[in-house]
A and B are shown apart, each in its own frame.
Chain A
Amino acid sequence: MDLLIQTLINGLILGAGYALVAVGLTVIFGTLHIVNFAHGAFFALGAYATLLIERAGAPYLLAIPLAVLCVAAIGFALEATIVRRALYDQGEHGSIIVTFAISQAIVAAIILVVGPDPLPVPSPFGQTAVSVGGFFLSAQRIFIAAASVAVLAGFALWLRRSVKGQQILAVSQNARGALYSGINVPLIRSLSFLLGIAAAGLAGALMGPMISAFPTMGDANVIVAFTVVILGGLGSIGGAMLGALVIGLGNALFETYVSVSWTPALGWVLVILVLLLRPQGLMGRAQLDRH
């Protein structure tokens, strides 16, 4: 029983972290129809920015928002110079090549500037573990889960309540119709890209203290995020959150009770099952309206 409770807690906390990475991916896919293979690189940038800002003297909690701003600024520069020109309306094939190239360039830049060795990202929660009724909870993980849930809830509220948020929803449902409803679709796309990138950067800043900063740190997390996004339904924000929870809990239960070695396969098995039974994903639309 204790083992089960500890496992469920592990799974929920894990899922909250996955959700943050996955929501960024899905927002970008939903409005821009591009698969952002550079997501992991922006995740790494988030961790490195946090680390460098902390070295400059800022405390962790202040470094996080500053790091997110830095990543968003880099994302903005890339969006304005490369993504906007090369990708919008070019379909997914071009996007894979271009975003992959961006990701390689970012990783190479990190190695050049900071070096390849993993570096610790200091956090006041550090290695502290809280023991509640016999269950071990790492303080950093609780912080990650709390911050993810707060940010995602705020984001969901913003999507519902703000004009820009509503316009993001409109563009992700029907870009051409949005254009003829007088919505500035290029602006909304740029905004969505920035938000998606910022979410990746935030995830990196939050998870950095746990996994250390190293150039390819985003890879494994983004692979999980891809399964989450496909499971939830490409482009569906609610789906990404649900998918993250399913994969987080599924992985934790599977690792504890079945087999550790097969856990990564579990995500894909779930994806295949869902695609067979519900091709649009758990919460995806039955058919995407393209141009």
Chain B
Amino acid sequence: MTGWAVEAAGVEKRYGGVTALKGVDLRIPEGAIHGLIGPNGAGKSTLFDILCGITKPSGGRVSVLGMDVAALPAHHVARRGVGRTFQRTATFRDSTVRENLLFASYGRMRHSVLQRMARAPAWREDMAAFETRADAVLETCGLAHLSDQPAAALAYGTQRRLAVAVMLMNDPKILFLDEPVAGMNDAETAEFIALVRDIARGRTIVIVEHDMAAIGALCSEVLVMVDGAQVVSDTPERALAHPDVVAAYLGTDADD
């Protein structure tokens, strides 16, 4: 155990002529709630994709929970304790809330096809374990009363909580949230902040967010990125007061 949930050094990513990341260094201690901010196109989502193993970096080293994520298929990374939600929320729209959670649980189930068909004890144990876990997760995320609703019918803010719930089914040790409160009203945002505090116990959480109030309320430290490069890493108040950060935000993101 190194004590670091994320250790990344000199991470680069090029898409043809576009350089999305120009050598980013990032260390996140285990158990922290860490922020990642920067104007649109700064490379935040790209960095998330690399940390989760969905995108392979063009250069640099990345270690998450001690794993060399660049060398592993994404679903393996996911099964070994890395969860993430997406900027454009993506639930399993046609399925109910409970089915959404079930989709995420197959990776942990151990029964065979035959046992499933025969409704054998192994199958029943797996299903019982799923039900217990699903009930707990739904309770935590405030979705218990919606468990039979189709995901597409949920309010937008609720869908974002569902996305978190789906991830919690695999009990991730680190959870990446990409702009989780974007598009939520104040009440929903406050609820979501409480949820993040609640689930942060025993895990590391990394948040990309344009809502500075949420960042300020949750994070002990933020990394500010501009144009694929890091500008500063500090507490939220001090980072936001940094002259380069002020310039970057005033220059490019005035409407946000």
Question: Do A and B touch (CB < 8 Å)?
Answer: yes
Interface residues of A (CB under 8 A from B): 161-163, 166-167, 169-170, 173-174, 176-186, 285-286, 289
Interface residues of B in 92-143 (CB under 8 A from A): 92-95, 102-104, 106-109, 113, 116
With A174-B93, A179-B54, A285-B94 known as contacts, the answer to whether A166 contacts B102 (CB < 8 A) is yes
CA distance A181 to B100 in the complex (A): 9
Determine the residue in chain B with the shortest Cβ distance to A175: B90
A173 near B74 with CB under 8 A, answer: no
CA distance A161 to B116 in the complex (A): 9
Known A-B contacts: A174-B91, A180-B74, A181-B103. Give 12 more (CB < 8 A). Answer: A163-B113, A173-B92, A173-B94, A174-B90, A176-B54, A177-B163, A179-B54, A182-B170, A183-B106, A183-B107, A185-B75, A186-B73
> What residues of chain B lie closer than 8 Å to A174, measured between beta carbons?
90-93
**A174 to B: closest C-beta gap in Å:** 4
Determine the residue in chain A with the shortest Cβ distance to B104: A181
> What residues of chain A lie closer than 8 Å to B47, measured between beta carbons?
none
**B92 to A: closest C-beta gap in Å:** 4
B113 near A177 with CB under 8 A, answer: no
State whether the Cβ of B224 lies closer than 8 Å to any Cβ in chain A: no
With A173-B94, A177-B166, A285-B94 known as contacts, the answer to whether A182 contacts B78 (CB < 8 A) is yes
- Which bucket holds chain B's interface residue count? 20 to 34
How many Cβ-Cβ contacts under 8 Å join chain A to chain B? 81
CA distance A290 to B82 in the complex (A): 22
**Residue from B83, B86, B88, B92 with most neighbouring chain A CB atoms (10 Å):** B92
| 10 nearest A-B residue pairs (beta carbon) | A182-B107, A181-B104, A170-B103, A182-B79, A173-B92, A174-B90, A182-B78, A177-B90, A289-B90, A180-B78
> What residues of chain B lie closer than 8 Å to A167, measured between beta carbons?
103, 106
B116 near A163 with CB under 8 A, answer: yes
B86 near A183 with CB under 8 A, answer: no
B90 near A182 with CB under 8 A, answer: no
CA distance A176 to B94 in the complex (A): 15
CA distance A285 to B83 in the complex (A): 26
A to B CB contacts below 8 Å, 10 in the list: A162-B116, A174-B90, A177-B166, A178-B92, A181-B167, A181-B169, A181-B170, A182-B107, A183-B103, A285-B93
**B79 to A: closest C-beta gap in Å:** 4
**A206 to B: closest C-beta gap in Å:** 27
B166 near A182 with CB under 8 A, answer: no
**A289 to B: closest C-beta gap in Å:** 5
With A163-B116, A166-B106 known as contacts, the answer to whether A180 contacts B93 (CB < 8 A) is no
Determine the residue in chain A with the shortest Cβ distance to B79: A182
A177 near B107 with CB under 8 A, answer: no
A179 near B74 with CB under 8 A, answer: yes
CA distance A160 to B75 in the complex (A): 22
CA distance A183 to B88 in the complex (A): 20
B109 near A176 with CB under 8 A, answer: no
With A162-B113, A182-B104, A186-B73 known as contacts, the answer to whether A176 contacts B95 (CB < 8 A) is no
> What residues of chain B lie closer than 8 Å to A181, measured between beta carbons?
78, 103-104, 107, 166-167, 169-170
> What residues of chain B lie closer than 8 Å to A186, measured between beta carbons?
73
With A173-B93, A177-B90, A289-B88 known as contacts, the answer to whether A163 contacts B106 (CB < 8 A) is yes
State whether the Cβ of B84 lies closer than 8 Å to any Cβ in chain A: yes
Q: Mark B190-225, 1 if CB is under 8 A from A, else 0.
A: 000000000000000000000000000000000000
